[in-house]
């Protein structure tokens, strides 16, 4: 008889956020497959759980999946956990889950914390519809192309980002998603939990004065009436082109085209700004 694979969500920071069901499953399975066994031991030791562990980090995902599948086929039960949150959601897990499905192994979800859901719940941005993107490409050109492809998405956009790329990503968002309202959350449920709200420019200015550490969640409002999204940066670009000798109409047309907004709206606003 085949064993069962449990997909177990674990706390994203505060160890008290684990569910009673998750604790029961972790205590009763034969094996726990962990993204990083050293990290997971903090949680397991805190709750007095001692089980055989299999390391399941990204670079070893395929080979370790084979080992875990063997155990499941032999009748053992396995709990899959990531360092934080839900396995497979911007974390290792998808390869093993697909293999288990192919082998007709029973898979049971044990739901719990997810960082982006926690961030959405306190964001104040529309949550009835949203698009979870996860991590953007690390290379700037690829990242900018991905953002351009999302620039007309009307739903709230949800991103994860590493601390060393957060300012770069926000700078690209400022260019490609101008005027958007943004919420940036880091270290949710932890001691240094912080949530910033405002325009992309405001968030960048604030972060430049801080030490940037911890995983970041960036929530960006979806595309709305573009006329409402004409900001000071766009108007400054129009005025700069005019100072170089370009006519107002041509300057507004050029900038409006680059941002995908109404030429007339930008032209009219530039008149009111300079009159």
Residue-wise pLDDT for 89-111, tens only, equals: 888 899 999 999 999 999 999 99
Residue-wise pLDDT for 11-56, tens only, equals: 999 999 999 999 999 999 999 999 999 999 999 999 999 999 999 8
pLDDT: is 234 or 87 the higher one? Answer: 87
pLDDT for the residue 257: 77
DSSP assignment, residue 147?
H
Whole-prediction pTM: 0.77
Q: Is the pLDDT of residue 260 over 80?
A: no
Among the residue ranges 105-119, 171-185, 214-228, the one predicted with the least confidence is: 214-228
Per-residue confidence at 229, pLDDT binned at 50, 70, 90? Answer: low
By the 8 A CB rule, do 185 and 217 touch? yes
Task: Locate 60 and state its tokens.
Answer: 């070893």
Q: Is the pLDDT of residue 273 over 70?
A: no
Note the CATH number of domain 121-224.
3.30.950.10
* Distance in angstroms (rounded) separating the CA atoms of residues 94 and 127: 26
pLDDT: is 229 or 100 the higher one? Answer: 100
pLDDT for the residue 228: 45
Alpha helices in the chain (DSSP H): 20-28, 37-46, 61-73, 94-102, 115-121, 140-150, 166-176, 200-207, 232-243, 248-259, 263-274
DSSP assignment, residue 16?
G
Using alpha carbons, list the distances in angstroms from residue 252 to 128, 179, 227, 228, 256: 35, 17, 13, 16, 6
**CATH class of the 4-113 domain in this structure:** alpha beta
Residue-wise pLDDT for 140-188, tens only, equals: 999 999 999 998 898 999 999 999 999 999 999 999 998 899 999 999 9
Phi and psi, residue 231, nearest 5°: -110, 180
* Distance in angstroms (rounded) separating the CA atoms of residues 106 and 27: 19
By the 8 A CB rule, do 82 and 92 touch? yes
DSSP assignment, residue 13?
S
- How high is the mean pLDDT of the chain? 91
pLDDT for the residue 104: 97
């Amino acid at each position: 008889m085949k064993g069962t694979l449990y997909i177990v969500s674990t706390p994203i920071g505060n160890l008290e956020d684990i569910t009673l069901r998750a604790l029961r499953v972790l205590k009763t399975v034969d094996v726990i497959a962990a993204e990083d066994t050293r990290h997971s031991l903090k949680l397991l030791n805190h709750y007095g759980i001692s089980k055989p562990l299999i390391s399941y980090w990204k670079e070893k995902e395929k080979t370790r999946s084979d080992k875990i599948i063997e155990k499941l086929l032999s009748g053992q039960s396995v709990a899959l956990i990531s360092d934080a949150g839900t396995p497979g959601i911007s974390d290792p897990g998808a390869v093993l889950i697909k293999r288990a499905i192919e082998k007709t192994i029973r898979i049971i979800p044990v739901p719990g914390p997810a960082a982006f859901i926690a961030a959405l719940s306190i964001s104040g941005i529309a949550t009835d519809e949203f698009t979870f993107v996860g991590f953007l490409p690390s290379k700037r050109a690829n990242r900018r192309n991905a953002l351009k492809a999302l620039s007309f998405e009307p739903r709230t956009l949800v991103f994860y980002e590493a601390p060393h790329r957060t300012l770069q990503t926000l700078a690209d968002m400022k260019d490609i998603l101008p005027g958007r309202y943004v919420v940036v959350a880091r270290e949710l449920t932890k001691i240094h939990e912080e949530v910033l709200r405002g325009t992309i420019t405001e968030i960048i200015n604030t972060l430049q004065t801080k030490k940037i550490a911890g995983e970041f969640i960036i929530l960006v409002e979806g595309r709305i009436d573009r006329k409402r999204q004409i900001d000071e940066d766009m108007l400054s670009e129009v005025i700069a082109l005019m100072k170089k000798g370009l006519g107002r109409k041509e300057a507004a047309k050029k900038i409006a085209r680059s941002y995908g907004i109404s030429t007339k709206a930008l032209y009219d606003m530039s008149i009111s700004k300079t009159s």
